[in-house]
């Protein structure tokens, strides 16, 4: 079955860039503000910029939280969280207070610690990512890939075995995670040229497991 991708529209972030990038791979793409539309998709992308609390509120208000539990937890459809969308996969977040996340990847979202390094926040720009090809989402690179990041917070997973890629910015930042059908990219694959397209290709090659 050829993939049919739903990009979740929950009121945060620029979805057009994600849709443009995925369209390049000749697959069907739909931007969905209606949780019912996730039923017809084979792959789900959760994009997003903004803050953790606002993101969870946007998902809850539109009824996406039970829909994601059903499609991703029960039916095991592949899910890719991008930037804030990856952070929302965590158990909890500490941006402007304490918020509960989707809980697909055990871990917490914290501000990048730049006290030692004195580096500027947000972490904006292109950074090298060391990938682990134990994870299908990170496979197929013949060189060290480089991706575009824009963020001040990052996901700290409880279990190291979900980590599929890391970068350095004053401390080690988890850039890519995968736990079975659930994937997350802290960087923006849709804005990362050819290396970003490879991430989407790897994601679309996943099937419900």
Partner 1 sequence: MLKPRLIPVLLLKNGILVRSKNFTFHQHTGDPLGQVERYTAWKADELIYLDINRDDTHDFRETMSVIGSTSSNKNIPATMTNDVVSVIRSVSEKCMIPLTVGGKIRSIDDIRVRLANGADKVSINTQALDNPSFIDHAARTFGNQCIVVCIDVKRDPGTGVCEVYKHFGRDPAGMKPIAWAKEVERRGAGEILLQSIDRDGTGTGYDLALIRSVAESVSIPVIALGGVGKFSDFVAGLKEGRASAVAAANIFHFSEQSIIHAKQEMQASGIDVRL
130 belongs to the binding site for partner 1 (CB under 8 A): no
User: How many angstroms separate the CA atoms of 155 and 157, rounded?
Assistant: 6
191 belongs to the binding site for partner 1 (CB under 8 A): yes
Is 190 among the residues known to form the active site? yes
111 belongs to the binding site for partner 1 (CB under 8 A): no
Question: How many CB atoms are closer than 10 A to CB 180?
Answer: 12
Is 209 among the residues known to form the active site? no
Kindly list the distances between the CA atom of residue 165 and the CA atoms of 108, 136, 197, 203, in Å, as whole numbers in the listed order: 17, 11, 16, 15
Is 83 among the residues known to form the active site? yes
Give the pair of three-digit tokens for residue 20.
């443009």
Of 27, 34, 50, 65, the residue at the interface with partner 1 (CB under 8 A) is 50
125 belongs to the binding site for partner 1 (CB under 8 A): yes
201 belongs to the binding site for partner 1 (CB under 8 A): no
In the bound complex, what is the minimum distance in angstroms from residue 27's beta carbon to partner 1?
Answer: 16
Of 112, 146, 156, 205, the residue at the interface with partner 1 (CB under 8 A) is 146
In the bound complex, what is the minimum distance in angstroms from residue 145's beta carbon to partner 1?
Answer: 11
User: How many angstroms separate the CA atoms of 181 and 44, rounded?
Assistant: 10
Q: Is the dihedral of CA 129, 17, 8, 152 positive or negative?
A: positive
C-alpha 113 chain-centroid distance: 21
Nearest Cα neighbor of 89 from 107, 77, 71, 76 is 107
Of 39, 120, 134, 172, the residue at the interface with partner 1 (CB under 8 A) is 120
Q: Which of these is catalytic: 54, 83, 99, 183? A: 83
Q: Which stretch binds partner 1 (CB under 8 A): 45-53, 71-79, 158-166, 174-182?
A: 45-53
153 belongs to the binding site for partner 1 (CB under 8 A): no
Of 43, 99, 154, 188, the residue at the interface with partner 1 (CB under 8 A) is 188
By annotation, the residues acting in catalysis are: 83, 188, 190
């Amino acid at each position: 079955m050829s993939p049919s991708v739903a990009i979740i529209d929950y009121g945060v972030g620029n979805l057009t860039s994600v849709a443009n990038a995925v369209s390049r791979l000749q697959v069907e793409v739909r931007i969905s503000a209606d949780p019912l539309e996730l039923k017809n998709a084979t792959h789900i992308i959760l994009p997003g910029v903004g803050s953790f609390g606002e993101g969870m509120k946007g998902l809850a208000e539109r009824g996406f939280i039970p829909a994601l539990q059903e499609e991703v937890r029960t039916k095991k459809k592949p899910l890719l969280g991008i930037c804030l969308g990856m952070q929302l996969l965590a158990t909890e977040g500490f941006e402007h207070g304490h918020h509960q996340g989707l809980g697909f990847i055990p871990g917490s979202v914290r501000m990048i610690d730049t006290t030692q390094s004195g580096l500027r926040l947000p972490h904006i720009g292109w950074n090298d990512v060391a990938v682990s090809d134990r994870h299908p989402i990170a496979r197929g690179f013949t060189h060290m890939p480089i991706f575009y990041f824009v963020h001040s917070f990052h996901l700290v997973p409880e279990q190291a075995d979900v980590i599929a890629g890391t970068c350095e910015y004053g401390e080690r930042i988890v850039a890519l995670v995968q736990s079975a059908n659930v994937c997350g990219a802290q960087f923006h694959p849709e804005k990362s040229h050819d290396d970003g397209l490879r991430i989407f290709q790897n994601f679309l090659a996943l099937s419900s497991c």
